[in-house]
Amino acid sequence: MNPKLWLCGICIAFFLSNKLFAETQVINDLVMAVSMPSYPYPFKREEAEIRAKMANMKNYFNQVTRGAITFNFDLDHDGQDELFHIVLPKDIDPCARRNEIFAEAVKLAKLQNPGIEFNHKTLLILAKSCAKPGKWGAMAIGADRIMSKSSLGVYPHEYGHNMGFPHTKRDTNNDGKGEGYGQQDPMEAGGTVFYNAPHIWGKKWFGQCPECFQDWEVKQKNVTIQPLATSEETHPLLIARIADDDEPGKYYFLSYRAPVPGTYEENLRPQAQTGLSIHHASGKFLMTSLIHVMEDNETYTIPNTKITITQHSHDISGVNISATLGYKCALKRHRKPSGMAWGKGSLKYPYAICTGEQLAYLSQHPNLWSKVFKLAADVNLASVPFTTIGNEDTPFTGTFLGNFKTVTVPPQQPLFGTVAGATIRDFNINGAILEPNGEGPSGIVAQVARDSAFTNITVNDFSMTAKNNQGIIAGFAERSTMHRMSVNGIIKYENDIENIGGLVGHGSELIIEQSKAQLILRALTPSKITNVGSLVGQLNKSSILNSYALSDYYLWPSHKSLEAVGSLIGRAANVELKQVYFSGDVNAHPSQNPASLAGEIADAPNESPDTILTAQGALLAIRGNRETLVGEKVTLETMYSADFLLAKGFNPDLWLFGSNSLPKLEYEYDPDEAPDINEDEEIEISEQLSNLID
């Protein structure tokens, strides 16, 4: 530690009002400038720079709050900024224990100024005294960061933390949009604060245009909401508010943000201009929640209201939307609406399903099975009279949009029966249990699929007792596509069975892409097992592209036999494998060839005997039986190599290569594994603020 620091202490400059010694005064937005010098009171050297930045900041806050905040940069009776020095005589290392210095500074400030109450304090330190690259840094008391940057943006950014804003630079959904990029509280690291709709409304920053802020209770047609930073001179609509019918005091706020030149949001990232932002907020609006950002031609039913929003278009000047009144999408458990949620059953106006009762209603009415449905909330079918949707006589031919919600299915029951020409996508099923009875194909998502498209479906932690023609996505499927399927669970074998797969039991003319299975396959009782694979049991005239399986096989059928047991496919005929791999422990005895990518290559029925099975970039890394019919046997260490995988045709736009891990599909990348923020940019000195995003 520099001994001069011990000799001189630290000086702190306070800009206070001329009511210093009057009755108790509350200063909400005080900024205390702090220097950590090597000799007493060098603050005077930096005074001109600090005063200039404070003046700019005062203008900035006046603009963004429509005159509601004139930042505390008050003058004394002589027209000069009052300057107060407080010296901390304690022997504290300012670089290693800055948080303690700030706490002591605030404590001493209160002792020396008993007539003033300080709220929303931001302290600015001379960062170069701690050998940091930036000249100025800042810290928000009670918040989470020290910033070592030299920018006017440091001041409002740290002030924003004190107002309750989180950072929004992280991208938890890995969709390239970040957590809003301006749609919630754009607190990019080192960036400036832009106030979102709930904060503006909650603080009544309406300026001279109260009509720019509207409460909506009735339908609206082709209304344009202009960007929040738009001038009020033309009386634009900036924020619409909708009351939450089930939670008094809570509201939904509709707003739009765009980097409009000449406004305080002109530096907003282009990604922020995505569409209408919908926040759910209450109280003093210090804890806000962005629940949705819309896209063009999207329809969104606002929970606990009768209002559905449709976004028609958006550009730099605003977002054009309509609001219609219909069936309330009630999310409260005590609400048990009868009939379907509101909608027209079309792609533009799908039926909104908000409860298990409504999904059960769909399952009981075949006349609806050609319509379009969209989940508006997580749905639990455990205690409702649900039957599978679609059957051989009347298959489901409509569109089911899961909206990335979760469906809890009842035990022993698939979600869909027979589907034909259907589109089924974007949902999760967790903890399903399937011990099917009767004859015919079976699955957790569907029993039979023909001419249908499945996309973005995840089935986790399932338990299934195998029977003939059984798969997690579909028991039997033909002329269909499966894109981004993911299954994880246990398959048990207790009887003689055939055609069992992680995705499909028996399939023909399928295209399976970017899909994965992580399974435990177990048979401990005498049984004959035929055509078993981690992805498909028996597959004809099909392609599996950019997919993989991580499975462990424990198949000991005693005196009976295993036939056509493979790591990806049990029995294959006229199948293309491209950029696929398998890794796991294969214990299957006795068996013809359980360790290969395809357990057996067989001629397809009614086809010429010249069976084709192509395997480009098909890799095996297994233990146990190491015989192989197709694919290349490699070690795990080899499969960790990006150079090796690239040479095999693995596309880096689809696959993520790790230095000590198997390749993952890009879309399943977990952002929590991303490296920490560079220490030169931000130094964490206290616990992070609670995440304000639901």
Q: What is the pLDDT of residue 498?
A: 87
* Torsion angle defined by CA atoms of residues 85, 86, 92 and 96, in that order, rounded to the nearest 10 degrees: -60
Model pLDDT, residue 584 = 85
pLDDT of residue 692: 18
Fold of 365-635: Pectate Lyase C-like (2.160.20)
Q: What is the mean pLDDT of residues 34-43?
A: 37
The predicted-structure confidence for 505-527, as pLDDT tens digits, reads as follows: 999 999 999 999 999 888 766 56
Q: How confident is the model at residue 123 (pLDDT cuts 50, 70, 90)?
A: very low
The confidence score (pLDDT) of residue 269 equals 55
Q: Taking the complete model, does pTM exceed 0.75, yes or no?
A: no
| Per-residue model confidence (pLDDT) at position 68 | 57
**What mean pLDDT do residues 88-110 have?**
56
pLDDT score recorded for residue 382: 84
Residues of the chain with CATH 2.160.20.110: 365-635
Structure tokens at 390: 């679609």
Residue 384 has pLDDT above 60, yes or no: yes
State yes or no: pLDDT of 535 exceeds 90: yes
Are 157 and 147 within 8 A, CB to CB?
A: yes
For the ranges 142-151, 163-172, 217-226, 555-564, the one whose mean pLDDT is highest: 217-226
pLDDT (tens digit per residue) in 598-616: 888 876 555 554 556 777 8
State whether residue 221 is helix, strand or coil.
strand
pLDDT at 247: 80
In percent, the amount of the chain with pLDDT more than 90 equals: 24
Task: Spell out the residues 6+ positions from residue 271 whose beta carbon is closer than 8 angstroms to its own.
Answer: 176, 177, 178, 181, 182
Mean pLDDT (the chain, rounded): 70
CA distances from 120 to 30, 32, 123, 203, 414 (A): 7, 11, 10, 15, 55
Highest mean pLDDT among 254-263, 405-414, 550-559: 405-414
pLDDT in tens, 386-397: 999 999 999 999
If you average pLDDT over residues 533-552, what whole number do you get? 94
Mean pLDDT to the nearest integer, 339-354? 73
Which class for 605: exposed (0-12), middle (13-18), buried (19 or more C-beta within 10 A)? exposed
Paired tokens of 188: 């990019």
Residues 6+ apart with CB under 8 A from 272: 180, 181, 182, 183, 186, 257, 258, 259
Q: For the chain, how big is the Rg over CA atoms in Å?
A: 31
Give the per-residue pLDDT at 606.
56
178-231 pLDDT per residue, tens: 443 333 333 443 334 456 778 778 777 777 888 899 998 777 888 999 998 888
Q: What single letter denotes the amino acid at residue 32? A: M
Of 134-143, 196-205, 441-450, 506-515, the range with the lowest mean pLDDT is: 134-143
Window from 287-301, 480-494, 642-656 with minimum mean pLDDT: 287-301
